């Protein structure tokens, strides 16, 4: 057990990565608390409008759609550590401003929309830079483990944040939650400053003069010529747009279908996050690039359980189904992320990861208003199972394409345990 735990948390032995992960955990707990408070505030200010939730989600992710590719170019040209500090500092100032508005009861719905857009701008710069920076913290041998631990940190915050936020909103209202978010975002600023630049893994980067000429279009051409990178990104774009809107759909489901309070909404998010944490930790032992079959199998499982959540008719059945949904959601996203990161040249990592963030998060401005409209007119459950069926169709289409392209065959075996497997020499 000790050896297993040592392997699972191996990246934490690297000082720079330990500082990075600690700062991210503290900040992300506050961020998830803010997401819950923001959704609850929007519902209160808009008379329980699911469409308003969709709009605020779109405001939050539209900057990702517009700015992420440019941010990837910045990541390949400039010091990622400096960029991380600047983006997090911008986030901290904005979060403080929002908390003042809420605490003084001056906040209006358009304020929430505006701050969501500005916070999304900070996120559009920070996320691709952070994704690309991980390889500099630990190097290629530990990169799969570090990426899995990143997902574990993210989902640990998803467990703690919503649960604490639900109780805090019930006890103190949303104002103190926004203030805590602002204060928690100082942690990554301090830890980025404390990192030792001499211990960063930067040997594989291009020389400074070549980095200065890095262009966005070169990154797009690089991915277009790589079907092994293009396929997971294409599947993620569909699933991200149609199913990964639980921040919106679970809030609407809790308040408009089951007529529960903030604490119960927090339980939905926590159940999803518990499964997601298990999914993240299950990949910490991975030391090589995941196969395309693992990625597609996880996508099919994620879409299937997401569809079942939408069809569930009782509160506790939704809670139970959200656990495996969260597991396969993160298992798929992490396997796809690792397949992309471990297959890309270091010189293109910033731009490729920016494109990854674009398909992972940037599709939300397109999907969120549509999902919100469906939730308001046909019910929150319908918005979830429709997204699940669209995701399932995309995953099965990608599987069919990959089978034909590789000449592989999908088979089913009953003993010793029923399972599907692929007979192929090309993974």
CATH code, domain carrying 326: 1.20.1250.20
Statement to judge: residues 237 and 97 lie in one domain: no
The Cα 250–Cα 387 span in angstroms is 13
Which pLDDT value is given to residue 6?
Answer: 59
With CA atoms as reference, report the closest residue to 144 among 310, 279, 324, 337.
337
Is the pLDDT at 198 greater than 80, yes or no? yes
Statement to judge: residues 392 and 245 lie in one domain: yes
Is the pLDDT at 160 greater than 60, yes or no? yes
Q: Is 126 a member of any domain?
A: yes
Is the pLDDT at 119 greater than 50, yes or no? yes
Q: Does an H or E element contain 413, and which?
A: strand 409-413
Angle between helical axes of 262-281 and 15-45 (0-180°, round to 10): 150
Statement to judge: residues 271 and 315 lie in one domain: yes
pLDDT digits (tens, 9 = 90+) for 363-378: 666 777 788 788 878 8
Beta-bridge partners for 409: 423
Which pLDDT value is given to residue 301?
Answer: 94
| Ramachandran class of 58: left when φ > 0, alpha when ψ lies in -120 to 50, beta otherwise | alpha
3-state helix, strand, coil in the chain (%, to 5): 80, 0, 20
Statement to judge: residues 238 and 188 lie in one domain: no
Statement to judge: residues 64 and 164 lie in one domain: yes
Angle between helical axes of 349-361 and 315-341 (0-180°, round to 10): 160
Half-sphere exposure of 120 (CA within 13 A, CB side): 26
Statement to judge: residues 65 and 108 lie in one domain: yes
The two tokens of residue 33 are 């608390």
Q: What is the mean pLDDT of residues 180-199?
A: 89
CA dihedral sign of residues 176, 174, 63, 68: positive
Is the pLDDT at 45 greater than 90, yes or no? no
Q: Is 421 a member of any domain?
A: no
Q: Is 422 a member of any domain?
A: no
Q: Is 225 a member of any domain?
A: yes
Statement to judge: residues 31 and 84 lie in one domain: yes
Cβ–Cβ contacts within 10 Å for residue 375, how many?
28
The Cα 165–Cα 107 span in angstroms is 19
Confidence label for 427 from pLDDT (cuts 50, 70 and 90): very low
Which pLDDT value is given to residue 35?
Answer: 84
Share of the chain above pLDDT 70, in %: 89
Of 54 and 302, the structure prediction assigns the larger pLDDT to 302
Looking at every residue in the chain, the average pLDDT score rounds to 82
Beta-bridge partners for 48: none
Statement to judge: residues 280 and 174 lie in one domain: no
The Cα 56–Cα 320 span in angstroms is 28
**Candidate from 200-204, 297-301, 311-315 with smallest mean pLDDT:** 200-204
Statement to judge: residues 161 and 290 lie in one domain: no
Is the pLDDT at 257 greater than 90, yes or no? no
Q: Is 353 a member of any domain?
A: yes
Residue partners of 49: CB distance under 8 A and separation at least 6: 42, 43, 376
Q: DSSP character for 346? A: G
Confidence label for 218 from pLDDT (cuts 50, 70 and 90): confident
Which pLDDT value is given to residue 32?
Answer: 84
Q: Is 112 a member of any domain?
A: yes
* CB-CB contact of 238 with 391 (8 Å): yes
Is the pLDDT at 286 greater than 80, yes or no? no
Alpha helices in 243-379 (DSSP H): 246-252, 262-281, 292-311, 315-341, 349-361, 364-378
Q: Is 98 a member of any domain?
A: yes
Statement to judge: residues 177 and 285 lie in one domain: no
The two tokens of residue 197 are 């630049």
Burial (0-12, 13-18, 19+ Cβ within 10 Å), 183: middle
Q: How many domains does the chain have?
A: 2
Angle between helical axes of 380-406 and 227-242 (0-180°, round to 10): 170
The two tokens of residue 67 are 């700015």
Is the pLDDT at 57 greater than 80, yes or no? no
Statement to judge: residues 35 and 124 lie in one domain: yes
Q: Is 388 a member of any domain?
A: yes
Residue range of the domain that includes 83: 15-195
Residue position matching structure tokens 């674009």: 358
Statement to judge: residues 141 and 188 lie in one domain: yes
Which pLDDT value is given to residue 279?
Answer: 84
Burial (0-12, 13-18, 19+ Cβ within 10 Å), 19: buried
pLDDT digits (tens, 9 = 90+) for 90-102: 989 988 988 889 8
The Cα 74–Cα 71 span in angstroms is 5
């Amino acid at each position: 057990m000790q050896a297993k735990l040592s392997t699972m948390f191996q990246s934490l032995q690297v000082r720079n990565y330990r500082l990075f992960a600690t700062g991210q955990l503290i900040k992300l707990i506050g961020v998830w608390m803010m997401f819950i408070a923001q959704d609850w505030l929007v519902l209160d200010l808009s008379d329980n409008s699911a469409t308003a939730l969709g709009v605020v989600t779109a405001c939050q992710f539209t900057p990702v759609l517009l700015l992420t590719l440019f941010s990837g170019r910045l990541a390949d040209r400039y010091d990622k550590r400096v960029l991380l500090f600047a983006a997090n500092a911008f986030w901290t100032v904005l979060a403080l401003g929002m908390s003042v508005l809420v605490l003084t009861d001056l906040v209006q719905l358009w304020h929430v929309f505006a701050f969501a857009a500005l916070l999304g701008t900070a996120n559009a710069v920070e996320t691709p830079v952070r994704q690309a920076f991980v390889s500099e913290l630990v190097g290629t041998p530990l990169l799969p483990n570090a990426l899995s631990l990143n997902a574990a940190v993210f989902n640990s915050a998803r467990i703690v944040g919503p649960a604490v936020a639900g109780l805090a909103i019930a006890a103190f209202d949303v104002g103190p939650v926004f203030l805590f978010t602002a204060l928690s975002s100082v942690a990554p600023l301090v830890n980025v400053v404390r990192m030792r630049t001499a211990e960063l893994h930067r040997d594989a980067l291009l020389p400074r003069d070549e980095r200065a000429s890095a262009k966005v279009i070169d990154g797009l051409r690089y991915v277009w010529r790589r079907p092994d990178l293009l396929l997971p990104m294409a599947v993620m774009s569909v699933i991200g747009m149609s199913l990964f809107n639980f921040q919106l759909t679970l809030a609407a489901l809790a308040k408009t279908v089951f007529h529960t309070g903030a604490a119960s909404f927090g339980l939905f998010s926590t159940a999803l996050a518990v499964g997601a944490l298990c999914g993240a930790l299950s990949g910490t032992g991975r030391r090589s690039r995941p196969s395309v079959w693992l990625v597609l199998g996880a996508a099919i499982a994620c879409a299937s359980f997401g569809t079942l959540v939408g069809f569930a008719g009782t509160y506790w059945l939704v809670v139970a189904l959200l656990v495996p949904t969260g597991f396969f959601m993160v298992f798929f996203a992490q396997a796809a992320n690792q397949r992309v990161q471990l297959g890309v040249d270091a010189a293109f990592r910033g731009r490729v990861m920016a494109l990854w963030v674009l398909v992972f998060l940037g599709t939300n401005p397109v999907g969120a208003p549509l999902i919100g409209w469906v939730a308001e007119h046909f019910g929150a459950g319908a918005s979830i199972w429709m997204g699940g069926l669209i995701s399932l169709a995309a995953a099965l289409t990608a599987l069919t394409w990959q089978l034909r392209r590789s000449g592989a065959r999908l088979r089913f075996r009953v003993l010793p345990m029923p399972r599907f497997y692929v007979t192929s020499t090309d993974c």
